Structures are given as C-alpha cells and as structure tokens.
Structure 1
Amino acid sequence: MKQEQKLKISLALIRFSTGIFFLVWSLEKFISPENAQKIFSKFYFMEISPAISQTAGIVQTIIVLAFMAGLLKTWTYGAILGMHAVSTFSTYQQLLNPYETSTSNKLFWAAVPLLAALIGLFLMRKEDNLLSITFDKK
C-alpha cells in the first residue's frame, strides 16, 4: 500500500471515529437533556433549559454529520476542533488532578490525544478526501 493511501485511510479513520464520538454527545442532548443541563452547569457555568439543550443537539448533530461527510472542511473541521478544545479546556481542574480519589479524573485525559488528533486532521484537511463529499473541481 502506498504512503498516500495510508494517509487517506488514517485521516478518514480519525474523521469517522471522532464523528461517532461527537454523535454520542450530541444525541445525548435529545435522549437525556437533563444530563446536558448538568454538564453545562458544572463545566460551562451556564444554566440551560431542555429546549436549549435539544436545539444545541440539533445544531451539533448537523455539524457532526457534515464533518463526517467531509463537507465544508475548513468550517466543519474547525467547528469540531473548537467544540472539543472548549470542552477539553473546561475540564482543566480534572486534568490538573488526575489522581483525585473521589472521581475518575484520569478519563478526562482521553480528551487530550483526541484534541491533538483533531489539530492534525484540521491541518491535513485538504488531504482527507477518502469517503468524503467534495465540490472541488479537479
């Protein structure tokens, strides 16, 4: 297998696995809006209603599906990267205390390599064209 094909497969795997990861979180806003309300309250210091949770879930799901399809790469890849960066940095207290015994803060560290992968995917977005919808003229 050629290096270029390996790169395309790798980028597509990052895109699809990240998209599935984000779908879990966006769909939770529909399935269990009260969990989303708790997360927004604890990590973003915002009180939201179930309607806002569901609206956010709709918007996030649309962005995630467009991202998974490889549409509008600069915007969708940037939006996913931005959402994940905000989410990761909002958990700085858990990241700084990974061995706190009352909670499982070590799991918050899973967000860090994903953030790095998303930065890499954003930087390589023009090369990520395996199984993506593109309107570029070639």
Structure 2
Amino acid sequence: MSHSASLRLSLLLMRISIFTVMLMWALDKFINPSHSAKVFEKFYFMAGLESSIMAIIASIELVILAGFILGIYKRLCYAVVLILQTVSTLSSYQQYLSPFDGSHLLFFAAWPMLAGCLMLYLLREDDRLLSLNK
C-alpha cells in the first residue's frame, strides 16, 4: 500500500472512530437527558438544563457530526469537533489530578482522542477516502 493510500485509510479510520464516540455522546442526550444534564452541571457548570435543551444541543451535534463523517464542510465541522473535544478534555481536569480514584483512569482516553481530532483538522485536505468533499 502506498504512503498516500495508507494515510487516507488511517484518516478515514480515525474519522469513523471519533464519529462513533461523539455519536454516542449525542445520542445520550436524547436517550438519557438527565445523565447529560448532570455531566453539563459537573463539568461545564451549567445547571438546570432540561431535556428539551439537551435535545436541541444533541440535534446541533448530530448535524455537525453528519458533516464530519461525510467529510463535508471540513474546515467548520472538523474544527467544531476539535473544539468540543478540547472543551470536554480540559473540563475534566479534576479527574486527571486523582487518576486512581473511581473510574478516573477512563478520562485519560480523552487525550489520544483530542490528538486524533487535531490530526484530522490539520490533515483535513488529505482526508478524502469516503469523503463527499474531495
């Protein structure tokens, strides 16, 4: 496999894996809005978000994620995904300070995902495999 083919395949697999994780987070806002509201309260200091607000946030996320997985509007969609992951990663700083308490070790998985989001943003022009915007 050529270098460019390997790069395109790697970028596609990274895009699919990041999409999968973020899709689950978006769906959680529809399926379990009370859980999402607790997450927003604890990590983003936004208390009292109702299920209708969660549904609106999730709907916006799904539109962005659709563009992301389809590889369209890359500058915008890849940037928003990167920003969302950056905020999510940095807002969990307390969990990094006590990694062996409870399930805090799981939060460290956010860092390679953040690196993957940054990589996709920086290499967005090379991410052409199964992309509608070639």
1:73 partnered with 2:74:
yes
| CA distance in 1: counterparts of 2:55 and 2:80, whole angstroms | 18
Which amino acid letter does the alignment assign opposite residue 31 of structure 1?
Answer: I
| TM-score normalised by the chain length of structure 2 | 0.97
Secondary structure of the 2:109 match is helix
Aligned to 2:40: 40
1:5-29 CA-partner distances (Å, limit 9, x unpaired): 0000000000011001100000111
- Distance (Å, rounded) in 1 between the aligned partners of 2:26 and 2:76: 18
Paired position in structure 2 for 1:12: 12
Partner of 2:24: 24
Q: Percent identical across equivalent pairs?
A: 39
Map Cα deviations across residues 16-68 of structure 1 (whole Å, 9 max, x no partner).
11001100000111111111111001111102111110100000011111100
The residue aligned with 1:50 is 51
TM-score w.r.t. structure 1 length? 0.94
For residues 96 and 124 of structure 2, the distance between their equivalents in structure 1, rounded to whole angstroms, comes to: 28
Q: Which amino acid aligns with 1:14?
A: M
Q: Deviations over 1:50-104 (max 9, x none)?
A: 111010000001111110000100100000000000000000010121112xx11
5+ residue gaps in structure 2?
none
Runs of 5+ consecutive residues of structure 1 not aligned to the other structure: none
Aligned residues: 133
Residues in 1 aligned to 2:16 and 2:63: alpha-carbon distance in whole angstroms: 15
Quick check: 1:93 aligned with 2:104? Answer: no
Letter in 1 for 2:18: T
1:127 paired to 2:99: no
